[in-house]
Each structure stands twice: as C-alpha cells, then as structure tokens.
Chains A and B, each alone.
Chain A
Amino acid sequence: MESFTYVNIFETKGLEYILLICFLILFVFFVRYMNATEKRT
C-alpha cells in the first residue's frame, strides 16, 4: 500500500495554500501598483 507523504505538496494540497497566500500578498502589491499615480498626483 502506498503511504501518504507530508512532504509532497501536491498531495497535501499545500500548493493551494501557498497560492492563496501568494494571491493575498500579490493583491496588495497589485493595488499599490495601480494607485501609485494617484499618490504622485
């Protein structure tokens, strides 16, 4: 029987959590990027 491994992020769905964290971080940068002009003006 194939054992479950915690180091494989594909099986633990860890990749999905990482993506979600990336989204939240990138979203902040994304909005800051767009609003850069507003602050200058």
Chain B
Amino acid sequence: MSATHTSPPVQGTFRFIWNEMKPRPPFWTPFNMISIPIIVVGMVILVYRFIYGLGSVTNLNQDYAWGVWKGFNVITGVAFAGGAYALCFTVYVMRLEKYKPIIRVTVLNGFLAYVFYAGALILELGRPWNILNPIIGNDFGYNSVLFLVAWHFLLYIIAQFLEVSPVVAEWLDAKKAYRVLYAMTLGLVVFGITLSFLHQSGLGALFLMAKPKIHPLWFSEFIPILFFVSSIFAGISLVIVEGTLSGRYLKEHIGIPEAQSRAILFGLAKGAAIASFAYYFFKLLLFLHEGHWDLLGTGWGLWYLVEVFGLTLLPCLLFALGYRHRSLGIVQTAAWLSLLGVLINRLNVSLIAFNWESVNRYYPTWMEIVVSLTVVLVEVWVFRWFVTRMNFYPRPRAARAHTADGVPAARLVETA
C-alpha cells in the first residue's frame, strides 16, 4: 500500500515504531562493544552454514548428530526459560500476587528464550526446510517424542506471544486490542503451563532411546522427570539473575520499590531451594536405584559427584542460607551456581557423557561457540529493546512518551 493511501493513524503508528527502533544513548557501552563484533561474526558464520552446510562450520559427525547448538541453546536454553511457567503457575493459579510485578517481564523472557533457543533447533538441522514436517507432513509420527516437542514448542511460542501481546497493545495505545488480548490471558496461561509440563519432560524423553550411548551415571528411565524438576529451579534462578542484572543496568525503567524487589527475590530463592532440594534427593534416589557404586571411583564418577554435590546440593543449601539470612549476595551466588549446574547436567546428558565410550569425541569448533553466543546476545538485545520501550516492568509513575507529528504515544501507566 502506498503512503498516500495509508490512513494517518496507521501512518503515525508506523512512524512511532520506526522511531522506537532507533537505538538510544548511550550506545557505546561495554556490553554493546563486546556483543556487536560477536553478533556480526556469528551472522556471517550462519550465512556460511546455510550456504555450504553443517559440515563447513561444525564438528558434527555420524556419532554426534547433535552438537553444542542443541545441547546448549535448545536443551539448556529451554530449561532456563522454565521461569515463565513456574511464575505463571505461582501468580495465576496459586494467586500469590506478590510476584505480579515481575510476571510480564518473566513471560517476555520466556517468550524470547523460546523464540531464540527453540528456534536454534533449525540451525542444526541438515535439511532445515524439513522443520515444517511435524506440522504439515503426510506422516505425523504420533509415537515420536520429537513430534510432541515440535508441536509443543510451536504452540507454546504462540501462547507466550499472545500473553505478551497486551503489553505491546498498551504500548501502541490500541485499547480495544488490549482488552481482547488481556481477556485471553488466564486461558493462555493455563494452556501454556500444561504445554510446559509436558515438553520440559519431553526434552528429557528424547534421550530415553539413547540408553546404550549415555554414561550409566547420567542415564535413567526418569530423565523426563529430572528435566522437568530441574527446569523449575533453573527457570527461577534465571529470573533471579535477570532481575538483579536488570536492577543494576536498567534501573531507570523499573519502578519496583527496593523492599518489594528484595521480598520478591527472597521468595524466589525459597522456591528454588525447595525445588532443588527435591531434585537433589531424586538424583540420590535414582543413583541408589541404579546402584552404580563401582563407577564412582572413575573419572566420570568424580565428574558426576562435582555435578551432584558442587552444582546441585551446594546451590540448594546456599539458597536456603541466603533466604534465612536475607542475604542478596548469597542468593545471587546460588542462582549462578544453580544455572551452571543445570547447564553442566544438560551438557553431560546431551554431549559430554553421550557416546562416552567412543574414541571419536565431539568438540565444538570456535564457529559453533560464536554462533551459540550470538543467539544468546541477540536475545539479550531484543529483551533490552522490549524492556526499555514497553511496560514490562512497573513504571514508577504515569508517563507518556512524546513523539513528533501527532504520532501515537506509548501508554505508560502504572501496572503494579
């Protein structure tokens, strides 16, 4: 449609969005200066990968069909996105209104994590156009776990997009759209929680077929449950980390009072402590059930003990200690350790302890690592853009973004 036929309000909306797309000062921050070169190099590598194929940039081989892009970005990233469904359950189902000020930003975080991390699935498909097969294929493969995961990723991304959309409608001052979208929230939340319960465990179920390949200390018939439980405290830990980082670097956009912010963080720490306590005992129970005592004396056994004690039990106890003594520093340390623990666990299952007897080991190339970082950094950029433009955090007071030429202004209202 030509500009002359566009009605003035629509034209104004486009101009408003265009203006909002422009970067805001200060631009040359340390984060930008580090992330921009990585993203540029990562994009070039991705173009190269899609022209010349996976073999041109990755170390994948017949033994390792899944590399760091799936092991890190998909398998781990989706666990880190678990905070969205955990918090939605807490706020909308358990009615714990204390966490309402951070629900929007947590859902945004979950939505972007799924778009980028579940989207990273396509990078490691030898024939990426086949990604549509589970949706439009002639043979749907109802018995496949991957079929469930593919459909759930798609449906959950749509559900989270709709959950986030009232904030976008509010930003565009589209009152009618806002009312319609907001009315759908509760239904979408329930739908999203159901999907999350299933596909978080479904990710673990993908590895059930690989029993001969995964080291016995990491393989269990209960991997789906372990993946599900670990996604709860991994997601909560990421909310804590993201909240503290946002509080430090985006504080002018956050109107949550200090005392309320601390209460929320400590409440999250308590939740993470309980979830990781249950997870630790579940790991212990499975170890006793499998009875691989003889393997503990090996190098793999020591690595397993580091994961279980150093990166599962220790963060659990630190969360409890931090909550009891109301120490933000201890809680933040516990959250970082907990994220590291889940990362190591997921990498162990999908990469490190996978094909553990094979002499043909997989080590990612520098290009795979740069692309993995690119996915994370682009997500951070997009997250920052949303948070600095829209009402994902409660604003300290009613404000209005003024733009030139009667462009629709963002409706920045108190949402706490």
**B248 interface residue (CB < 8 Å to A):** no
**B324 interface residue (CB < 8 Å to A):** yes
**A37 interface residue (CB < 8 Å to B):** yes
Size category of the binding interface on chain A: 10 to 19
Residues of B within 8 A of A37 (CB): 323-326
A23 in contact with B325 given A10-B291, A15-B288 (CB within 8 Å) = no
**B289 interface residue (CB < 8 Å to A):** yes
> Chain A 1-13, CB within 8 Å of chain B: the 1/0 string?
0000000001001
> How many residue-residue contacts, CB under 8 A, span A and B?
33
Within the assembled complex, what's the spacing in Å between the Cα atoms of A10 and B281?
17
Is the pair B277, A19 in contact by a Cβ cutoff of 8 Å?
no
A30 in contact with B320 given A19-B281, A19-B284 (CB within 8 Å) = yes
Query: Of all chain A residues, which has the CB nearest B322?
Result: A34
A5 smallest CB distance to B (angstroms):
16
Is the pair A34, B288 in contact by a Cβ cutoff of 8 Å?
no
Query: Of all chain A residues, which has the CB nearest B323?
Result: A34
Is the pair A30, B324 in contact by a Cβ cutoff of 8 Å?
no
Within the assembled complex, what's the spacing in Å between the Cα atoms of A13 and B289?
7
Within the assembled complex, what's the spacing in Å between the Cα atoms of A36 and B321?
11
Q: Which residue of the partner chain, among B270, B278, B281, B291, contacts A34 with CB atoms under 8 Å?
A: B270
**CB neighbors of A among B315-331 (8 A):** 320, 323-326
Residues of A within 8 A of B205 (CB): none
Is the pair B285, A34 in contact by a Cβ cutoff of 8 Å?
no
Residues of A within 8 A of B288 (CB): 15-16, 19
Within the assembled complex, what's the spacing in Å between the Cα atoms of A30 and B317?
9
Residues of A within 8 A of B289 (CB): 13, 16
Within the assembled complex, what's the spacing in Å between the Cα atoms of A23 and B273?
14
**B274 interface residue (CB < 8 Å to A):** yes
Residues of A within 8 A of B324 (CB): 33-34, 36-37
Residues of A within 8 A of B320 (CB): 30, 33-34
Residues of B within 8 A of A13 (CB): 289
Residues of A within 8 A of B278 (CB): 23, 27
Query: Of all chain B residues, which has the CB nearest A24?
Result: B281
Is the pair A16, B285 in contact by a Cβ cutoff of 8 Å?
yes
**CB neighbors of B among A26-41 (8 A):** 27, 30-31, 33-34, 36-37
Query: Of all chain B residues, which has the CB nearest A16?
Result: B288
Within the assembled complex, what's the spacing in Å between the Cα atoms of A34 and B323?
6
Residues of A within 8 A of B277 (CB): 27, 30
* Residue with the greatest number of chain A CB neighbours at <10 A, chosen from B288, B291, B320: B288
Is the pair A20, B273 in contact by a Cβ cutoff of 8 Å?
no
Is the pair B285, A20 in contact by a Cβ cutoff of 8 Å?
yes
B273 smallest CB distance to A (angstroms):
6
**CB neighbors of A among B253-295 (8 A):** 270, 273-274, 277-278, 281, 284-285, 288-289, 291
Is the pair B274, A31 in contact by a Cβ cutoff of 8 Å?
yes
Is the pair A34, B284 in contact by a Cβ cutoff of 8 Å?
no
Residues of B within 8 A of A33 (CB): 320, 324
Is the pair A34, B326 in contact by a Cβ cutoff of 8 Å?
no
Within the assembled complex, what's the spacing in Å between the Cα atoms of A30 and B277?
9
Query: Of all chain A residues, which has the CB nearest B277?
Result: A30
A19 in contact with B273 given A37-B325, A37-B326 (CB within 8 Å) = no
Residues of A within 8 A of B291 (CB): 10
Residues of A within 8 A of B323 (CB): 34, 37
Within the assembled complex, what's the spacing in Å between the Cα atoms of A34 and B324?
5
Within the assembled complex, what's the spacing in Å between the Cα atoms of A36 and B291?
37
Assuming A10-B291, A27-B277, what are 12 further A-B pairs, CB within 8 angstroms? A15-B288, A19-B284, A23-B278, A23-B285, A27-B278, A30-B320, A31-B274, A33-B324, A34-B320, A36-B324, A37-B323, A37-B324
Sample (8) of A-B pairs whose CB atoms are under 8 Å apart: A20-B285, A23-B278, A27-B277, A27-B278, A33-B324, A34-B273, A34-B324, A36-B324
